[in-house]
Amino acid sequence: MIIFAPKETDSSETRAALTPITIKRLVDIGLEVEVESGIGAGCDHSDIEYSESGAKIITDRGSSLSTADFIFRVRKPPVEEISILKEGAMHLSFLDPFNDSESLHAMASSGTTAVSLEMIPRTTLAQKMDALSSQANIAGYTAVIYSAEKLNKILPMMMTPAGTISPAKYFILGIGVAGLQAIATAKRLGARVTAFDVRQEALEQAESLGAKALRIDLGGDSSETGQVYAKELTPEQLDKQREEQAKVCEDSDVVITTAKVFGRKSPILVTKDVIERMKPGSMIIDLAAESGGNVEGTVLDQEVVTENGVSIVGIGNFEGRVARHSSQVFSANLGNFIEHFWDQEENSFKFNLDDEILSGCVLTHAGKIVHERFLEESTEE
């Protein structure tokens, strides 16, 4: 059985879906691994390193795409590369399935078994395969480091003969994987951190990291969906939240927003009128930029400075700024996925759609859309 990892087609993507450490593990369990020449250029792994780990270096991308049994990528494939995949091949990558039904249908018609990394269940067993978490964790860290470099202040309190410098104030909105790492990193650098999430449990986690939790009574049941994700708030609850948060934003040097609602556009939490009241030189980093953004005025992949001197950072791929480590954990996630289902005696992948993990993340199989969340859409068309 052959795994092929092509170079990412998006030229701004620095991550690689496979790195040498994972390749060694996959070769050890009996798989053949092929990678496209130059795959590691953005994360500083040379072709030689790949070759030494046991991979075959490929220059004919099309041929490997059409013969491999498994394709590993970070981002979704260009649609024209879906039809050339070998029938029955398993394709693993982020697929953006809620916004891109064209790729989903193309995967179904080409007979591909499409695994959407966004849909890996949030269970203890699947944690080792959870690329959404491994990447969000790194994004949370990188966002704080980016702000620390750009801010016209230092982060820790300093008592000097020339007087006391007070710590920078951070406000973290959304305390999921990225938010928790942002809190931990800002605290380690000495900043004063306040944090908010609609989930009570998340507020307690923030407090355990030394942040001050902003508690807002939103009324009703505003917490979890039962699958660790947040519920979408009502318009009234969102208004209440924005009002209470505004005071913290005005007082903050850096606001980092990470609030996402799974499968939906992210809620706007920081509005223009609040930004107008923020201090010149302050910064908002919108980590939800790729899913619509939490901030009015975010432009994806750009940094915008408002008239009153507030920077709104919409960088969509913070984890790509530290591609060596983000590729390492991404690749490990995919390797763990294959290893988990690999039958070494039979030298085959144990495919079973009754399995909780596979039924959660396999969207298309044997010529059809098979995931219940996307079935309705497929029958409507």
Can you give the binding site for ligand NAD, defined by CB under 6 A? 122-124, 127, 130, 132-133, 136, 173-179, 196-199, 202, 228-230, 233, 241, 258-262, 267, 269
> Minimum Å distance from CB 237 to ligand NAD?
8
Pick 267 or 335: Cβ nearer ligand NAD: 267
77 contacts 53 by C-beta, under 8 angstroms: no
> Minimum Å distance from CB 212 to ligand NAD?
15
Catalytic residue selected from 127, 223, 359, 378: 127
Instruction: List all residues 6 or more positions away from 320 whose beta carbon is below 8 Å from its beta carbon.
Output: 12, 13, 14, 15, 42, 326
46 contacts 16 by C-beta, under 8 angstroms: no
What is the three-class DSSP state of 151? coil
Pick 35 or 230: Cβ nearer ligand NAD: 230
123 contacts 236 by C-beta, under 8 angstroms: no
Catalytic residue selected from 61, 122, 321, 324: 122
Catalytic residue selected from 61, 188, 229, 321: 229
The amino acid that residue 98 corresponds to is F
Pick 124 or 164: Cβ nearer ligand NAD: 124
- Chain position whose Cβ is nearest to ligand NAD: 176
Q: Provide the CA 265 distance to its chain's centre, in angstroms.
A: 15
Q: Provide the CA 86 distance to its chain's centre, in angstroms.
A: 28
Work out the angle between the directed axes of helices 323-341 and 20-28 (0-180°, nearest 10): 10
What is the three-class DSSP state of 222? coil
Catalytic residue selected from 130, 197, 253, 286: 130
Length of the chain: 381
Does the annotation count 130 as an active-site position?
Answer: yes
Pick 71 or 202: Cβ nearer ligand NAD: 202
> Minimum Å distance from CB 227 to ligand NAD?
8
> Minimum Å distance from CB 224 to ligand NAD?
8
Pick 106 or 361: Cβ nearer ligand NAD: 361
Does the annotation count 141 as an active-site position?
Answer: no
CA distance 287 to 302: 12
β-strand 169-173 against 163-165: which pairing, if any? unpaired
Does the annotation count 122 as an active-site position?
Answer: yes
> Minimum Å distance from CB 267 to ligand NAD?
5
Catalytic residue selected from 116, 133, 237, 326: 133
What is the three-class DSSP state of 160? strand
Catalytic machinery residues: 122, 127, 130, 133, 229
